A and B are shown apart, each in its own frame.
Chain A
């Protein structure tokens, strides 16, 4: 009974700790906040039922893998192309800069999906390339390479619209 309670507490803690980057990751794959929210909730509710998070060697990477699988399964079921919802913010606006948030969201959305995944996992998920390789089932070198390409594209897209030096 105590072990079960401990597992539930651990899962709730993980939700609080990784909920935001997981939601961002799911939103970046679906383009739609409510579907992303459903995917994240679905993963955590299943975990609470099975209490299996403590069995995972790397809980954080495991959570991202679960969310990705939930999104991909949902996409298969719905069989429709994903589109970006312009009204749905992905980030809290730093200094209430709505334009910057929208620019970043669009720049991320314009990236190829594999590069978008790696970028979000590395920057906001704070996963290492080894962990990303585990989540996406690719090599760590491929993950690093995708990240470099993505970062260059992002920088180009964002700096074309605003003066990045002001933020540095």
Chain B
């Protein structure tokens, strides 16, 4: 019987290395694989947004000259006309100036009465 203590015998046993297993067949992480595509999608979306913003900024505006006679031609101030002024005036200040200093019609056309004038003649008892 050979003389080997437990420690020596353990060392002898450990000289035998267990066989390595086959590699684990797994798919690559989808997040990692998808990452380049995500970046590309984001880049494309950003570029498209900038392009759209550029197009909107530089879109052809209706010529002022075409609007001006129309605005100038209508004597009374209506909501539609005020909107048109706000939209097409070169600046907000000019639009307000235009709205404020409107020449009011001196008299009503024949057969029509101003509602304000009719109400002012009524006597109300409070």
A residues neighboring B (CB under 8 Å): 1, 4-5, 8, 12, 15, 19-24, 33, 37, 40-41, 44-45, 48, 89-94, 100-101, 104, 123-124, 151, 154-156, 159, 163-165, 167-168
User: A12-B24, A15-B24, A164-B4 known; 6 other A-B pairs, CB under 8 Å?
Assistant: A24-B19, A92-B19, A94-B17, A123-B10, A151-B6, A165-B4
Chain A residues with CB below 8 A from B13, complex form: 104, 123-124, 154
Q: Digit string of B4-23 for contact with A (CB within 8 Å is 1, else 0)? A: 10101111111111111110
A5 with B4, Cβ < 8 A, contacts A19-B21, A40-B21 known: no
Contact status B4-A48, CB under 8 Å: no
Chain B residues with CB below 8 A from A163, complex form: 2
Interface residues in B1-57 (C-beta closer than 8 Å to A):
1-4, 6, 8-22, 24, 26, 29, 31-32
Complex Cα distance A167/B19, Å? 21
Chain A residues with CB below 8 A from B14, complex form: 123-124
Complex Cα distance A20/B17, Å? 8
Interface Cβ pair total, 8 Å cutoff: 85
Please give the distance in Å from A3's CB to the nearest CB on chain B. 12
Please give the distance in Å from B34's CB to the nearest CB on chain A. 11
Closest residue of B by beta carbon distance from A21 = B18
Contact status B29-A5, CB under 8 Å: yes
Chain A residues with CB below 8 A from B19, complex form: 20, 23-24, 33, 89-92
Complex Cα distance A123/B12, Å? 10
The 6 closest A-B pairs by CB, nearest first: A24-B18, A91-B16, A20-B18, A19-B21, A23-B21, A164-B2
Contact status A168-B20, CB under 8 Å: no
Contact status B12-A167, CB under 8 Å: yes
Q: Is the interface of A mostly helix, strand, loop or mixed?
A: helix
Chain A residues with CB below 8 A from B21, complex form: 15, 19-20, 22-23, 37, 40-41
Contact status B31-A1, CB under 8 Å: yes
Q: List 9 A-B contacts (CB under 8 A).
A: A8-B29, A20-B19, A20-B20, A23-B21, A24-B19, A41-B21, A151-B9, A159-B1, A167-B15
Closest residue of B by beta carbon distance from A36 = B21
Instruction: Tell me which of B1, B16, B22 contacts A37 (CB under 8 A).
Output: B22
Please give the distance in Å from B2's CB to the nearest CB on chain A. 4
Please give the distance in Å from A119's CB to the nearest CB on chain B. 8
Complex Cα distance A8/B27, Å? 11
Contact status B2-A91, CB under 8 Å: no
